[in-house]
């Protein structure tokens, strides 16, 4: 504690064991002995030289202690974040392996630091005595502050009695034998209320009650929290985690998912979606009418979910709440025959989309943009989102394209998969860039010396994402497999690289490819792996905003996109706190409040930027609408600042 350290975290062997099989965990974790204990030590300093002095001092202070495993200090964020991940994932990991229907209990107590080691071992003995085999201990060692986590069922009198006996023993151990504290830093005031007098003594306890009654004579402020006359209050109103769906049953409601959810604060977060769905399912099993709840949940839980799966990246056990929402949409899907027809006549469907954009563009010319914007907003609201809302960022129609046959010259080939939105949506009427994404991409690839090849019947192809997001997984998979077959043919059995100009389509295609040999690239990965040595970059002075799409994050190309932007511009802005734009395919049209809520801070963040870049055409519509600047595909920026490299 006298050393220059910022944090010293303690983990017992059980907590280490709870995470040792997770992806990305160091190999040495699994090899520790049964009674090992870990200290995670962090030191910080204002300069590197001072930091190195501090590390030397810390290591010297523990040099005489035998170590089972030496883990060196590291200044590499990838390394030290991995070490912190061991500590941070322990609590959720216990919840993930719990039996469905049981509840995760976390408590925090304090032992005198001088007796910390003995206190830890005695607490472990209590776990063994009461058969909490999954229980773990971790905590802040310098303060003697220990968190312990265990799972508990409350479905039988025997389970409740086991819990009661365990808590009685914990209170006796911590408060009486060691003179510690039953609460360290977190408040579980009902759970510890029966033991306050045991810890503090009768005189102090009665003084607490006198103060309570002076300030709260009617007992209406947090009744039974910290102070209670009911010795069994910790055994009442126990919160269950009932089974709801196997996709989300492992959730312990930790809330790690919430910061990246675009609907948090508008409607429900992923955690809240799961909590509400659990409650609905429990009520159904109890024979309670849930129709009113389900009606409310439709908008709050299902319609306003972007279903992009960013929550799974933050969830310690990988729960994708979007998958639950897609499943619920599928169960409620009523237009199977329509979906079948659209899948089989996709070329015609795209023609209809072009016709719709033509009608909107004609209305804009006749009515003017401001009047059309107001009118379409009213119509969209009146139709409950069935009519899309027009904004000045709405694309103009792109004519049906004659892709033409490959020339088969000596240049290296690249198969260009233009997403359906790229084949239909041109630039907005006021956009300074009036070349289509398709034309701009083809020009960039040819500038780099590639022969651009298109799949046969390109206007009939689709990755299936529109069907999947609407709850039609069979039609979605049919279109996906049809596209994969076309790409295999176009790439000569996977010989040629395939460039997909929209990252959401790329993500859908690369998932579950199995043995299929396709060399698929999103714009970021293709540019960084195939074009960097063929083009010379001259970065522009104008600042550029970067939006990293959800699919780019899933593809692991987030930093690569930012690095590419920095090669193209001397000033790059990445707006803080915007993880998902909330456009979610077409929800920017049908549920525009989701897009607006997610991007509510964007305009201020990019006010000094000349333009923004992204890798999803639909995302760019919402980003342009709510930023006040034009957002384009990455290729527009790359094409502008590059020229062919001279050999």
Domain containing 551 — which CATH number? 3.40.50
Q: In terms of domains, do 200 and 220 share one?
A: yes
Instruction: Tell me what pLDDT residue 407 has.
Output: 67
Report whether pLDDT(357) > 90.
no
Q: Is residue 376 part of a domain?
A: no
Helices 336-344 and 346-367 cross at an angle (nearest 10°) of: 90
Q: In terms of domains, do 57 and 99 share one?
A: no
CA torsion 151-98-69-122 (nearest 10°) is 20
Q: Is residue 499 part of a domain?
A: yes
Return d(Cα 59, Cα 51) in angstroms, integer.
12
Instruction: Tell me what pLDDT residue 403 has.
Output: 64
Report whether pLDDT(1) > 90.
no
Q: In terms of domains, do 504 and 595 share one?
A: no
Query: Which position has the higher pLDDT, 23 or 177?
Result: 177
Q: In terms of domains, do 548 and 624 share one?
A: yes
pLDDT in tens, 443-496: 999 999 999 999 988 888 999 999 998 889 999 999 999 999 999 999 999 899
Burial class (CB in 10 A: 0-12, 13-18, 19+), 376: buried
Instruction: Tell me what pLDDT residue 364 has.
Output: 86
Domain boundary among 496, 526, 556: 526
Instruction: Tell me what pLDDT residue 333 has.
Output: 87
- Average pLDDT of the chain is 91
- Nearest Cα to Cα of residue 489 among 480, 499, 498: 498
Q: In terms of domains, do 96 and 230 share one?
A: yes
Q: In terms of domains, do 497 and 553 share one?
A: no
Report whether pLDDT(104) > 80.
yes
Domain boundary among 291, 317, 332: 332
**What is the distance in angstroms between the CA of the first residue and the CA of the last residue of the chain?**
61
Q: In terms of domains, do 157 and 169 share one?
A: yes
Classified as helix, coil or strand, 187 is coil
CATH code for the domain of 100 = 3.30.70.2740
**At 164, is the pLDDT very low, low, confident or very high (cuts 50, 70, 90)?**
very high
* Domain of residue 224, residue span: 92-235
- Percent of the chain surpassing pLDDT 90: 66
Return d(Cα 275, Cα 321) in angstroms, integer.
11
For the record, the structure tokens of 160 come out as: 């409740």
Query: Which position has the higher pLDDT, 511 or 403?
Result: 511
Return d(Cα 422, Cα 353) in angstroms, integer.
12
**At 23, is the pLDDT very low, low, confident or very high (cuts 50, 70, 90)?**
confident
**At 306, is the pLDDT very low, low, confident or very high (cuts 50, 70, 90)?**
very high
**At 429, is the pLDDT very low, low, confident or very high (cuts 50, 70, 90)?**
confident
Number of domains the chain contains:
5
Going along 64-112, which residue ranges are E strands? 103-110
Return d(Cα 14, Cα 136) in angstroms, integer.
5
- Nearest Cα to Cα of residue 25 among 78, 82, 76: 82
Q: Is residue 185 part of a domain?
A: yes
Q: In terms of domains, do 296 and 214 share one?
A: no
| Sheet containing 451-453, strands listed edge to edge, beginning at the edge strand earlier in sequence | 451-453, 413-417, 498-500, 520-521
Once rounded to an integer, what is the mean pLDDT over residues 619-645?
A: 93
Q: In terms of domains, do 78 and 102 share one?
A: no
Going along 279-420, which residue ranges are E strands? 395-397, 413-417
pLDDT in tens, 235-252: 988 877 888 999 999 888
Taking a C-beta distance cutoff of 8 angstroms, is the pair 417, 526 a contact? no
Domain boundary among 43, 62, 88: 88
Report whether pLDDT(95) > 70.
yes
Q: Is residue 18 part of a domain?
A: yes
For residue 338, count other CB atoms closer than 10 A to its CB: 12
**At 402, is the pLDDT very low, low, confident or very high (cuts 50, 70, 90)?**
low
For the record, the structure tokens of 614 come out as: 């992204």
Positive or negative: CA dihedral 451, 457, 460, 463 = negative
Q: Is residue 346 part of a domain?
A: no
Q: In terms of domains, do 440 and 522 share one?
A: yes
Q: Is residue 204 part of a domain?
A: yes
Q: In terms of domains, do 53 and 172 share one?
A: no
Once rounded to an integer, what is the mean pLDDT over residues 203-214?
A: 97
Instruction: Tell me what pLDDT residue 405 has.
Output: 63
Return d(Cα 45, Cα 49) in angstroms, integer.
9
Instruction: Tell me what pLDDT residue 317 has.
Output: 79
Instruction: Tell me what pLDDT residue 516 has.
Output: 78
For the record, the structure tokens of 566 come out as: 């920095």
Q: Is residue 372 part of a domain?
A: no
Q: In terms of domains, do 515 and 565 share one?
A: no
Q: Which helix (H) or strand (E) holds 141?
A: none
Instruction: Tell me what pLDDT residue 222 has.
Output: 92
Q: Is residue 357 part of a domain?
A: no
């Amino acid at each position: 504690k006298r050393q220059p350290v910022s944090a010293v975290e303690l983990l017992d062997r059980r907590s280490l064991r709870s995470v040792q099989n997770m992806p990305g965990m160091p190999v040495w974790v699994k090899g520790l002995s049964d009674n090992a204990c870990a200290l995670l030590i962090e030191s910080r300093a204002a300069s590197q030289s001072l930091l190195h002095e501090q590390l030397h001092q810390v290591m010297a202070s523990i040099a005489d202690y035998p170590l089972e495993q030496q883990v060196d200090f590291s200044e590499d964020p990838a390394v030290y974040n991995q070490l912190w991940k061991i500590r941070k994932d322990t609590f959720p990991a216990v919840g993930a392996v719990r039996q469905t229907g049981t509840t995760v209990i976390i408590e925090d107590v304090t032992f005198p630091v001088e007796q910390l080691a003995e206190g830890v071992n005695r607490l472990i003995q209590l776990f063994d005595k009461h058969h909490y085999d999954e229980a773990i201990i971790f905590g802040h060692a310098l303060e003697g502050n220990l968190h312990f986590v265990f799972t508990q069922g409350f479905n039988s009198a025997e389970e409740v009695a086991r819990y009661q006996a365990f808590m009685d023993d914990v209170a006796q151990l911590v408060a009486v034998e060691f003179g510690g504290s039953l609460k360290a830093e977190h408040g579980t005031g009902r759970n510890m209320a029966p033991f306050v007098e045991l810890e503090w003594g009768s005189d102090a306890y009665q003084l607490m009650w006198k103060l309570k009654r002076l300030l709260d004579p009617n007992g209406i402020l947090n009744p039974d929290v910290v102070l209670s006359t009911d010795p069994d209050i910790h055994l009442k109103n126990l919160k269950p985690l009932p089974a709801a769906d196997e996709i989300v049953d492992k959730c312990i409601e930790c809330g790690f998912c919430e910061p990246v959810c675009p609907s948090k604060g508008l409607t429900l977060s992923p955690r809240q979606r799961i909590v509400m769905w659990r409650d609905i399912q429990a009520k159904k099993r109890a024979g309670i009418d849930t129709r009113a709840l389900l009606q409310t949940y439709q908008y709050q839980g299902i319609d306003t979910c972007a279903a992009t799966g960013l929550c799974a990246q933050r969830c310690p056990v990988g729960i994708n709440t979007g998958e639950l929402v897609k499943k619920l949409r599928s169960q409620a899907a009523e237009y199977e025959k329509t979906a079948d027809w659209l899948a089989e006549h996709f070329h015609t469907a795209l023609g209809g989309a072009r016709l719709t954009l033509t009608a909107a563009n004609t209305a804009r010319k006749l009515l003017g943009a401001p009047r059309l914007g107001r009118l379409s907003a009213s119509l969209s609201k009146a139709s409950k989102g069935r009519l899309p809302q027009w904004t000045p960022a709405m694309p103009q129609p792109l004519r049906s394209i004659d892709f033409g046959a490959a020339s088969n010259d000596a240049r290296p080939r690249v198969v260009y998969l233009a997403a359906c939105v790229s084949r239909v949506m041109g630039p907005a009427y006021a956009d300074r860039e009036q070349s289509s994404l398709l034309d701009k991409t083809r020009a960039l690839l040819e500038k780099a010396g590639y022969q651009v090849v298109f799949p046969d019947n390109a206007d009939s192809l689709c990755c299936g994402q529109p069907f999947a997001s609407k709850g039609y997984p069979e039609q979605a998979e049919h279109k996906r497999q049809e596209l994969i077959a076309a790409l295999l043919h176009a790439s000569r059995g996977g010989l040629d690289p395939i460039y997909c100009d929209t990252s959401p389509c790329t993500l859908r295609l690369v998932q579950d490819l199995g043995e299929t040999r396709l060399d698929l690239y999103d714009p970021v990965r293709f540019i960084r792996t195939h074009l960097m040595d063929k083009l010379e970059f001259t970065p522009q002075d104008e600042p550029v905003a970067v939006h990293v799409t959800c699919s780019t994050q899933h593809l692991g190309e987030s930093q690569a996109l930012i690095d590419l932007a920095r090669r193209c511009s001397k000033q790059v802005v990445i707006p803080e706190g915007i993880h998902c734009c909330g456009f979610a395919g077409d929800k920017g049209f049908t549920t525009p409040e989701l897009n607006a809520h997610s991007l509510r801070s964007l305009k201020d963040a990019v006010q000094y930027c000349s333009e923004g870049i992204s890798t999803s055409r639909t995302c760019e519509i919402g980003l342009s609408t709510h930023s006040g600047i034009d957002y384009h595909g990455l290729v527009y920026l790359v094409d502008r600042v590059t020229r062919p490299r001279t050999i």
